[in-house]
Amino acid sequence: MDTATETETEQIVFVTEDGVPTGETGPKLASHHEHTRLHLAFSCYVLRRSDNALLITQRALHKKVWPGVWTNSVCGHPAPGETLEDAVRRRAGYELGMPSLSGLHCVLPNYRYRTPPFQGIVENEFCPVFAAWADTEPAPNPDEVGDWRWVAWTDYTSLLNDPSANVSYWAKDQFEQLKAIEPFSGLWADGVAE
């Protein structure tokens, strides 16, 4: 399926404040606007097994929502009837060329956020957060990813705290909860070069 067809037909799942699907779905792009309804999504942080470096990505510059921002490894929306774990693996394969993640597990099952408007679009997501490990280098899809790098957790912390850095709202917001839980709380001493 080509990118244009995928984005036109991809459906998002609307949920209650507790993340329970309402039974309603909507087209992904058309559903994101200034009054975006709460819907199901996910974020995933991929660590390199050899040294626990974190894969961060820059969203492609032509993306409709949050183009060019640096963020965690991969984000997305499960399709109707798709489990979150299957959605993470599908999007990691599609966006990063990394369909084989190991140790995939949910670290923030009830994470929820709403962004300020960005070019008239508000993100409003019930967004469980996952961690996983990879043994291979990414081969990103240029339709999704403009740039990428492996960084030490301490360097990621510096990036998030740099007011001039173009970093996603949700990456900054998630960090406040992630920094105190495993596997991230154990990464402060890891010295990983970029």
The amino acid at residue 120 is G
The one catalytic residue among 75, 85, 123, 127: 75
Looking up tokens 């965690």 gives: 72
Q: How far apart are CA 38 and CA 124, in angstroms?
A: 5
Full-model pTM: 0.90
**Tens-of-pLDDT digits for all 194 residues of the chain?**
334 444 568 999 999 999 999 999 999 888 888 889 999 999 999 999 999 999 999 999 988 778 899 999 999 999 999 999 999 999 999 999 998 999 999 999 999 999 988 888 889 999 999 999 999 999 999 999 999 999 999 999 999 999 999 999 999 999 999 999 999 998 865 444 33
Do 132 and 47 contact (CB within 8 A), yes or no?
yes
Token representation of residue 120: 């008239």
106 is catalytic: no
Give 54's contacts (C-beta < 8 A, 6+ positions apart). 45, 46, 47, 48, 72, 73, 150, 151, 152, 153, 156, 187
Q: Give the closest residue to 126 by CA, choosing from 11, 16, 32, 26.
A: 16
Give 191's contacts (C-beta < 8 A, 6+ positions apart). 152, 154
The one catalytic residue among 85, 95, 123, 125: 125
44 is catalytic: no
Q: How far apart are CA 39 and CA 123, in angstroms?
A: 9
